[in-house]
Structure 1
């Protein structure tokens, strides 16, 4: 299959390597063109780690060219999702499928709404996290740290779940667990809570541009904070009647590692040689993506369910104060799908938007 990848960062590059391994043809289109401009010089990309390969990327100049693919994968930070979706919508047809990796801020609902306005309904797949981890080693060299054994997914509309699962498995392997709807997926993504906790507890390191290991700095105190954040997320999910993975389930299923505490697990990862570098600039997606597009939607769900989430709420407020920004106002997706009351949100998460009808 031809697979269009919107994005050209490390995860997008890693997906291309995995797709090539499975016999598919990846195409890239990047809004910034920074990575694709470097690749267009003809230098091959070298992949090491969990996948070892070398390839020259096939580049698209426009979203219209990317639309020539059979499946489109959004593999870029959530603050770029609205721009990319708006660019792609005019070129999507009923033959397409779209995968959002990883799904944040109900981007699937925004896409479904824009397509419904054109009278189109297609399978939109939301992943709870990325299929793999990947970090740059140089401008043209990347290391894939791990390919996850299990990833939760849901389809919008939900009745397309079987078709969406077949596409994901064909492209990326038999590693997907189908969940009931995108609310479950929204509450299954651990990155926003974990990245917020790590950023808060290491903010001076980040601001000073220090070299520091992420796992080696999950001390017992930081680990307890991450565990408490996880309990808040699990309580929100329970209020919706959802069963989602705990942080301990995540480590076991993604990295085949168990432990009594998050700090203990992090120490074991360090012993195994896994200690990814922490952010070295305040211009990090741990804050700029995960706060407005990860934590704000989580708080949206918490309020809808009437569940207190004081640690999530405080984290947003503290980081907003530290950055001197209103992160809640920076989310450009939520205002476009609501306001939605709880019954409507629940229905939309399963059914999407009615095609060729008044959806406002």
Structure 2
């Protein structure tokens, strides 16, 4: 770890709480802002933030009452909330962000970095946006002030936009979170590095009735061989798109090995070992789960868009989107507010690639 920073975290869910605890435990200063205004009420009243599991301790992060206060009192801004909340939170932050104030997005959703930089350019403000392919940790928020941390990841894929500022983005993340980052070849690579949407598609699609019935069920224990094969096929589709673009991304096997510290095997076997170790986690107990409502429009749809640009259609991803839309009676292809604002469909692959390097959208 390097120098001490004041890090403003936009979000108040499990990842935001866990990240705040990690930073405080590491000697950094964290401040939380709940966009809804409800997620930090108990903390604002003086209760400590308690972390349990892979990280233990009691902490007292700062609490911001608004986006303006969060930005004003922080040196670094860190987004830690579901993809469907990114646009509204970015819109709240944009009027207040300062020149060269670093922003970290964990995990990056749907070209949000381009949206942020485009809107800041209209203000005449430029800054580095560092994007992660996944989150620092996994877990659940188990109370108003409690974060249950299942695992802290040893490796996280990272890129910075504009690409020329990658060295400072990497150095900042290492100062804050330690030597766990793998630089990737830009924003497109990171957009193809989040495995949650494909993995959650396989898990949710094949366990939907458990979710609807509100059952308590082992996620790792229900990634059976057939479910595992579906997840592997989805992964192969994503990796093929990356290869067509000349990009290197982590495979599902590397993801499970590095995230959960189990030997490489079939995905069903790796999940079975997680289940045996008691760290396989519980599956969603409701159909109103981020596994679908976030990961379909902000994950599967994004991979499908990139696949079409690359000339490698993501047939399984697109089929999954259509199936979930039929299951839920809604059109998930139209629920991604960031994609609809960016209008990437009007751009060529070369224009998208250039924008991902420079952070500047063509007009």
What is the TM-score of this pair, normalised by structure 1? 0.96
Give yes or no for the alignment of 1:281 onto 2:286. Answer: yes
Give yes or no for the alignment of 1:67 onto 2:71. Answer: yes
State how far apart, in whole Å, the 1-side matches of 2:306 and 2:31 are: 35
Residue in 2 aligned with 1:34?
A: 38
C-alpha contact 2:235 2:251 (8 A) present in aligned 1:
yes
Residue in 1 aligned with 2:261?
A: 256
Residue in 1 aligned with 2:309?
A: 304
Residue in 1 aligned with 2:118?
A: 113
- String of CA shifts for 1:263-322, please: whole Å, max 9, x gaps: 000011111121211111111111010000111110000111111322111100000011
Count of matched residue positions in the alignment of Structure 1 and Structure 2 = 356
Residue in 2 aligned with 1:12?
A: 16
C-alpha contact 1:248 1:258 (8 A) present in aligned 2:
no
Give 1:206 deviation, angstroms: 0.5
Partner of 1:257, secondary structure, is coil
State how far apart, in whole Å, the 2-side matches of 1:290 and 1:17 are: 26
Partner of 1:251, secondary structure, is helix
Give yes or no for the alignment of 1:200 onto 2:193. Answer: no
Partner of 1:274, secondary structure, is coil
Partner of 2:39, secondary structure, is helix
Give 1:43 deviation, angstroms: 1.9
C-alpha contact 1:6 1:84 (8 A) present in aligned 2:
yes
Give yes or no for the alignment of 1:351 onto 2:355. Answer: no
C-alpha contact 1:70 1:95 (8 A) present in aligned 2:
no
1:218-257 alignment runs, 5 A limit? 218-257=223-262
Residue in 1 aligned with 2:164?
A: 159
Give 1:159 deviation, angstroms: 0.5
State how far apart, in whole Å, the 1-side matches of 2:146 and 2:41 are: 15
Equivalent residue for 2:141, pick from 136, 140, 144: 136
State how far apart, in whole Å, the 1-side matches of 2:69 and 2:233 are: 46
C-alpha contact 2:9 2:30 (8 A) present in aligned 1:
yes
State how far apart, in whole Å, the 2-side matches of 1:53 and 1:256 are: 23
CA RMSD of aligned residues (A): 1.2
Give yes or no for the alignment of 1:94 onto 2:99. Answer: yes
C-alpha contact 1:188 1:244 (8 A) present in aligned 2:
yes
Residue in 2 aligned with 1:47?
A: 51
State how far apart, in whole Å, the 2-side matches of 1:277 and 1:253 are: 20
- The more displaced of 181-190 and 132-141 is 132-141
Residue in 2 aligned with 1:329?
A: 334
State how far apart, in whole Å, the 1-side matches of 2:347 and 2:34 are: 32
